[in-house]
């Protein structure tokens, strides 16, 4: 039904979705550079998540929505483990795992033609297009990134170092 070549709009969509992931990773790395491993696993309350839990969740969700639908790999995600309070993984390992998933997702997205973006599939019981899956995955990633920033600021208080403030030289568009 759809056999359109990759268009400028498709390229821009792929770039923007990947750029959201890259910007979020910069924010997450900036936060983790200010924290030790113990702080990464700190929970503000027993029923709340730690930064470590959020990072595991981001990797699991991005893989499920942003990689598996495009590679047709088996989805082996164990979502409940992502929120366990019994886990302790050093922050460097968490970051490496996340960066690998981010790169895999961006690799899958970058060459999709419009016909592929419109293709339907099922994820977590939802009937979505590939385009929807990419939008969900990238916006979900950004949303939890802001939780990582908040949890970092809660722990560091006035010692928190901002990544960027208005009035400073501009680089990329901040998320």
What are the pLDDT tens digits along the chain (175 aa)? 444 456 778 888 888 999 999 999 999 999 999 999 999 999 999 999 999 999 999 999 999 999 998 888 888 888 878 888 788 999 999 999 999 999 999 999 988 888 888 899 999 899 999 999 999 999 999 999 999 999 999 999 999 888 766 666 666 656 6
Q: How far apart (Å, rounded) are the C-alpha atoms in residues 53 and 76?
A: 18
- pLDDT at residue 83, as a whole number: 80
Block residue for tokens 């990947």: 18
Structure tokens at 54: 């959020």
**Count of all residues that appear for the chain in the document:** 175
Q: In 34-88, where does DSSP find H-type helix? A: 37-40, 51-62, 68-71, 79-82
- pLDDT at residue 1, as a whole number: 40
Q: Does residue 65 contact residue 137 with C-beta atoms inside 8 Å? A: yes
């Amino acid at each position: 039904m759809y056999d359109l070549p990759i268009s400028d709009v498709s390229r821009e969509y792929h770039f923007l979705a990947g750029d959201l992931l890259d910007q979020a990773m910069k924010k997450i790395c900036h936060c983790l550079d200010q924290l030790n491993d113990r702080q990464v696993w700190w929970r503000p309350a027993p029923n709340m998540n730690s930064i470590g839990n959020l990072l595991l969740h981001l990797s699991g969700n991005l893989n499920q929505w942003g990689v598996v639908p495009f590679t047709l790999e088996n989805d082996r995600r164990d979502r409940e483990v992502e929120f366990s309070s019994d886990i302790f993984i050093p922050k460097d390992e968490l970051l490496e795992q996340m960066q690998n998933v981010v790169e895999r997702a961006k690799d899958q997205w970058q060459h999709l033609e419009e016909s592929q973006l419109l293709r339907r599939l099922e994820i977590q019981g939802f009937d979505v297009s590939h385009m929807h899956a990419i939008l969900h995955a990238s916006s979900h990633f950004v949303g939890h990134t802001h939780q990582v920033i908040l949890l970092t600021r809660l722990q560091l208080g006035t010692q928190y170092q901002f990544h960027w403030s208005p009035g400073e030289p501009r680089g990329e568009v901040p998320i």
